[in-house]
Chain A
């Protein structure tokens, strides 16, 4: 089935089977490998993208359900220069193996968009759907706090 998607500000036309997920389409059809497949059950958040600015698990989001909404992937965040969030994550030691990192960047980008100064509890709640196996989360939280001046 033909499908037209707005991805990172560009209209893309492609073919996708009826049950194809947004993740399948991004990685396999559009070659956008920054969004990762970690579980295909909506548990780990490594596949997080923004749909109209809202974080969703693309592994369980039907590609044909996107419609005219705007999809933003990690490739659309800091494409030219790293965003302040991305820089803060690097400086805070929030990146280890990095496989979860795109998902966290997407979720946290959405958080900072609606709440520029979240406190620690709010940050942790917002990333409860993003699993990191390497960092233990503290330095990821630190990155956002350093950026936003929020409270621990």
Chain B
């Protein structure tokens, strides 16, 4: 029932080019709140959780909406929407976990305006896109008036609503390795209903099979720790195996041990602990069958 007494937002700026946007960010620094699709920022603003001084709308920056498709890597502009990623046939084939994750965010209205960059920068511990991005070895690019810099996604996401971006920087692009032949992946989201949910547990698994053996395994979880993470220990338990039940059980045990779920408004820690290990088993089955599909 609390109502905010803070001052209302005093400015709304809509730069027409990325250079303009960066110049404005340089000038305003942390007094500017970057606004893209608004599905996080506007909700938080309406709820009184944030009190921006100036809204910097970057939706007109068309050069951030591109998808750069190469054989070994896909470059996705930070303003590409969840709907675009969910419905792009080529990306659904090469990055199925990311496409699946995007299709589970909110509903159609959310996906139409919500952006990949926004989901990453909001950095919810339960962010659906972050798990598939982690198993895809994503790196992000930040731009400022001083130039650009890149880093692995895992170094960029620090905690809830907290990233390594400096106030004057804008996330412009994410570079991701797609699945090649013999590699399959999946994103599984656990939530009470079938849509409009924040993940209670989210799990992305990517498996590469060569001659019946696992040559590579990547496992990333969201909503079961303060920060989305990849479980190296669980991955190593699968690599070199044939995904025998014992290997999968061991990986599940290791994944669960690394998770630090909490009780929150959505679910209890004990529920998350019950779900996570069995969910890995289900994800591995699906990733394996997709890997063998070709």
Q: Report if A62-B110 is in contact (Cβ < 8 Å); known contacts: A17-B8, A41-B46.
A: no
Q: What A residues does B108 contact at CB under 8 A? A: 55, 107, 125-129
Q: Report if A129-B42 is in contact (Cβ < 8 Å); known contacts: A19-B55, A65-B35.
A: no
Q: How far is the CB of B23 from chain A (nearest CB, A)?
A: 19
Partner of A19, one of B9, B59, B113, B194: B9
B213 within 8 A of A: no
Contact A43 B196 (CB under 8 A): yes
CB-CB contacts below 8 Å: B18-43 with A: 35, 38-39, 42-43
Partner of A130, one of B38, B42, B46, B107: B107
Q: Report if A42-B106 is in contact (Cβ < 8 Å); known contacts: A1-B12, A67-B60.
A: yes
Distance, CA A119 to CA B39, complexed state (A): 28
Most buried by B among A18, A55, A67, A126: A18
Partner of B38, one of A40, A41, A61: A61
Most buried by A among B38, B39, B60: B38
Can you list, as one digit per residue, whether each of A51-78 has a CB less than 8 Å from chain B (1) or not (0)?
0001111011110110100000000000
B45 within 8 A of A: yes
**Given A42-B110, A61-B38, 15 further pairs, Cβ under 8 A:** A17-B8, A17-B9, A18-B11, A19-B52, A45-B107, A55-B108, A57-B110, A59-B46, A60-B42, A64-B55, A67-B59, A127-B107, A128-B107, A129-B109, A130-B107
**Could you list which residues of chain A lie within 8 angstroms of chain B, going by C-beta atoms?**
1, 17-19, 21, 40-43, 45, 48, 54-57, 59-62, 64-65, 67, 107, 125-130
**Could you list which residues of chain B lie within 8 angstroms of chain A, going by C-beta atoms?**
8-12, 14, 35, 38-39, 42-43, 45-47, 52, 54-55, 57, 59-60, 106-110, 112-113, 194-196
Contact A60 B60 (CB under 8 A): no
Distance, CA A70 to CA B291, complexed state (A): 44
**In the complex, what residue of chain A is closest to B47 when comparing beta carbons?**
A41
Distance, CA A96 to CA B8, complexed state (A): 38
Contact B107 A18 (CB under 8 A): no
Q: Report if A128-B39 is in contact (Cβ < 8 Å); known contacts: A17-B8, A54-B112.
A: no
Residue contacts A-B, CB under 8 angstroms, 24 given: A17-B8, A19-B8, A21-B42, A41-B47, A42-B39, A42-B43, A43-B196, A45-B107, A54-B112, A55-B109, A56-B113, A57-B110, A60-B38, A60-B43, A60-B46, A61-B38, A61-B113, A62-B12, A64-B57, A65-B57, A65-B59, A127-B108, A128-B107, A129-B107
Distance, CA A110 to CA B107, complexed state (A): 14
Q: Report if A64-B12 is in contact (Cβ < 8 Å); known contacts: A19-B45, A128-B196.
A: yes
Q: Closest 3 A-B residue pairs measured CB to CB?
A: A129-B107, A128-B195, A18-B12
**In the complex, what residue of chain B is closest to A54 when comparing beta carbons?**
B112
**In the complex, what residue of chain B is closest to A40 when comparing beta carbons?**
B46
Distance, CA A60 to CA B46, complexed state (A): 8
**In the complex, what residue of chain A is closest to B106 when comparing beta carbons?**
A129
Q: How far is the CB of B21 from chain A (nearest CB, A)?
A: 14
Contact B194 A128 (CB under 8 A): yes
Q: What A residues does B110 contact at CB under 8 A? A: 42, 57, 129
Q: What B residues does A67 contact at CB under 8 A? A: 14, 59-60
**In the complex, what residue of chain B is closest to A43 when comparing beta carbons?**
B196
Contact A41 B194 (CB under 8 A): no
Q: Report if A62-B107 is in contact (Cβ < 8 Å); known contacts: A18-B9, A19-B45, A41-B46.
A: no
Q: What B residues does A40 contact at CB under 8 A? A: 46
Partner of B42, one of A1, A62, A127, A128: A62
Q: What A residues does B57 contact at CB under 8 A? A: 62, 64-65
Q: What B residues does A127 contact at CB under 8 A? A: 107-108
Distance, CA A65 to CA B79, complexed state (A): 14
Q: What A residues does B39 contact at CB under 8 A? A: 42, 60
Distance, CA A128 to CA B35, complexed state (A): 25
Distance, CA A65 to CA B15, complexed state (A): 11
Distance, CA A61 to CA B55, complexed state (A): 13
Q: How far is the CB of A128 from chain B (nearest CB, A)?
A: 4
